[in-house]
Amino acid sequence: MVENVIETEKLTKFYGERCAVYRVNLRVTKGVVYGFLGPNGAGKSTTIGMLVGCLRPSYGRVKIFSLDVFKHRIEVMSRVGYLPEKPVAYRNMRLEGFLEYMGRLEGLTRKEAREKARELLEFVGLGRLAVKKVGTLSAGERQRLGFAQALIGDPELLILDEPTSNLDPVARFEILSKIRLLASEKGVTTLISSHVIPEVGRVSDYVGIINNGSLIAQGPISDLIAQEEDEYLVRVSDPERLATRLLERDYILEAKFEGKDGIRLRVDVNNAHKLWVELPEVLTEEKLALYGFKPVGDPLERLFLRKVGVA
């Protein structure tokens, strides 16, 4: 039986008359990386606020590790690591001291917390800044510190609200790799909220898409994008001849000419691999010169845009 680490039931939140989150039934199974996608203002942070017990739902329930978050807050939070959307820390504290404090609040002894703090500062690449004050850090460094803070209690569940905002591409890559590493090596279940879809697609197994406060899609990425199409741009010496040959195949849904030597192919995502095998064969048979071949866009991005009603 699949064990749900996060389970919400008709989770609803009103701010006055404005409904921020409406009847969200989130299911995050153990050991997965769950991408929580949505445009700005869709209700991601409000939902997360309710998951970590900072906001009270107007209606509905939140269960983490099968425990009600509001009735068993301390038990639940001792197993959860949380990175807020805007990472905050005490400006006058040193990085090491701040992490040590957070560790002690997680129940570690002073010595354990100090050791763990040093280890995590190295892990997130801030080891050389250990004695610096938090107030002197850049936004990206503070984000890394926030990530370390979330990991200090060796959590079984990580809830990361926009973990890569403020980060440069290298740091983004590093943090995402670390999230993946934690999931694969330590089995840490992770919920990442973001509106940067390709990033989420790269690390997640599951996604949930929220728009206007409602969860409009949820499930394994492979299942969700199965209904989507892949797009490829092929540049060849005779595009018309190639299009004629390819359209004989049922997995090619559409071929549009682009420029004097290009064709944009829309391919059934489940059989996209066939194109990779058969395209070289067709090119050889027809004696066509290939100038270029590249996938266009991201099926997850297309799914997201379609679901939120943009495409």
Residue 213 contacts other proteins per CB under 8 A: no
Shortest distance, position 14 Cβ to other proteins, whole Å = 12
Residue 107 contacts other proteins per CB under 8 A: yes
Part of the chain binding other proteins (CB under 8 A), chosen from 74-82, 118-126, 200-208, 300-308 = 74-82
Q: Which of 25, 41, 54, 71 binds other proteins (CB under 8 A)?
A: 54
Shortest distance, position 175 Cβ to other proteins, whole Å = 19
Shortest distance, position 77 Cβ to other proteins, whole Å = 4
Residue 69 contacts other proteins per CB under 8 A: no
Residue 131 contacts other proteins per CB under 8 A: no
What is the C-alpha to C-alpha distance for residues 221 and 302, in angstroms, rounded to an integer?
A: 12
CA angle 275, 277, 279 (to 5 degrees): 60
Residue 53 contacts other proteins per CB under 8 A: yes
Q: Pick from 127, 129, 123, 298: which is nearest to 228 by CA?
A: 298
What is the C-alpha to C-alpha distance for residues 110 and 118, in angstroms, rounded to an integer?
A: 12
Binding residues for other proteins, rule CB under 8 A, total: 32
Residues of this chain, 1-40, that bind other proteins according to CB under 8 A:
none
What is the C-alpha to C-alpha distance for residues 120 and 219, in angstroms, rounded to an integer?
A: 32
For residue 292, give the 3-state DSSP assignment: strand
Which of 121-132 are b and which e, b meaning 16 or more Cβ less than 10 Å from the residue's Cβ?
Answer: bebbbbeebeee
Shortest distance, position 74 Cβ to other proteins, whole Å = 5
Which of 137-147 are b and which e, b meaning 16 or more Cβ less than 10 Å from the residue's Cβ?
Answer: beebbbbbbbb
Query: 21 vs 34, 159, 241, CA distance in Å?
Result: 19, 18, 52
In this structure, which long-range contacts are made by residues 248-257, counting pairs with CB atoms below 8 Å and at least 24 apart in sequence?
249/274, 249/278, 251/275, 253/229
Residues of this chain, 133-162, that bind other proteins according to CB under 8 A:
149, 153
Part of the chain binding other proteins (CB under 8 A), chosen from 108-116, 180-188, 226-234, 277-285 = 108-116
Shortest distance, position 152 Cβ to other proteins, whole Å = 9
| 242 and 236 Cβ atoms separated by less than 8 Å | yes
Residue 71 contacts other proteins per CB under 8 A: no
Interacting residues toward other proteins by CB under 8 A: 49, 52-56, 73-75, 77-78, 80, 82, 84, 86, 88-93, 101-102, 104-110, 149, 153
